[in-house]
Amino acid sequence: MDYLYFAIRRLLQAVLVMFVISLIGFSIQDNLGDPLRELVGQSVSEKERQALRDRMGLNDPFFIQYGRFLGKAVQGDLGNSYFFKKPALEVIAAKFPATLELVIGATIIIISFALPFGVYCAIRPKSWFAKFIMGFSIIGISVPVFLTAIFSIYIFSVELGWMPSFGRGETRDLLGWNSGFFTQDGLVHLVLPSISLASIMMPLFIRLIRSEMMEILQMEYIRFAWAKGLLPRRVWFLHAFKNTLLPVITVGGVQVGTMLAYTILTESVFQWPGMGFLFLEAVNRVDTPLIIAYIIVVGLIFVVTNTFVDLLYTWVNPTVKLVGQKS
């Protein structure tokens, strides 16, 4: 019951945030070039243009246009892409699996390396391996993602010829999800883009996990756990690790959103046919409905992941009281 109440409140907040995002997104429309020029080209006279403007409602006041946009948006209609002549949402939905694939690939890489490395660096801060990881992570933080991407293409595709240099590879349908995860060719294509995308977050997570865990290991309850005569692995991986997870989850949730933003860079370097690549093309073509739709979809993903993280946080941390819960 409390959980339901909390979820409803959280949902209302999410709706409010989405409303603001849509307002900002839509206000771009008036300032991002003339949609008519993209639609009809040079040969149409100014009089015909005005008539077309009236018919499309582009001369109406901002809020009437916005109201119309919002009314359609809640029904899942974000307008038609000028370039593709198809609903913008449909265009984005077609590219979404590719981007999701990339984000999942990068997340798997981050979790499977950052967690063990971070924990190791916290437990054995003086070992040479921990020092090596920390030194390396400084480099990782400082090198921009497009540089990592270009270098990895140069080394592994051009020089060594181990990996394909661009594109998504073969995909296959499984349970309604069309993805490169299910074919060998798709997986091979995924390796370099995932690594470059992960490289930007990985050092941050290793450092975050290390510093949080080192702080936790100084806590009195950890000393008490030692005093109880527990095995080191129980003290480290249960008592300390569970407490370390709390801040890591909070930061991690926000970073998933940031990672989506970085897919724009990664996808354009690797010519990955995802949402980010699509967005860059849309900007070049002044495809305003598509740009707005992209902003709203990404905003929605941000809001959904953050809501999910909040729910996860209350589940991991028993001391967090749900909003509105009677104690």
Q: Contact residues for another protein (CB under 8 A)?
A: 218-221, 223-232, 234, 238-239, 242-243, 246, 316-319
| Amino acid at the residue 287 | D
For another protein, the closer CB: 216 or 260 = 216
Nearest approach, Cβ of 192 to another protein (angstroms)?
38
Comparing CB distances to another protein, the nearer of 159 and 220 is 220
Structure tokens at 141: 């933080």
Considering the complex, what minimum distance in angstroms separates the CB of residue 237 from another protein?
12
3-state SS, residue 79: coil
> Closer CB to another protein, residue 37 or residue 124?
124
Q: Say which residues have a Cβ less than 8 Å from residue 226's Cβ, sequence separation at least 6.
A: 235
Q: Supply the minimum distance, in Å, between the C-beta of residue 123 and another protein.
A: 13
Task: Please state the closest distance from residue 236 (CB atom) to another protein, in A.
Answer: 13
Indicate the residue among 9 and 228 with the shorter CB distance to another protein: 228
Cβ atoms of 103 and 260 closer than 8 Å = yes
Residue whose CB is less far from another protein, 151 or 226: 226
Contact 286, 29 (CB under 8 A): no
What's the min distance (Å) between Cβ of 201 and another protein? Answer: 25
Question: DSSP secondary structure string, 85-152?
Answer: -SBHHHHHHHHHHHHHHHHHHHHHHHHHHHHHHHHHHHHSTTSHHHHHHHHHHHHHHHS-HHHHHHHH
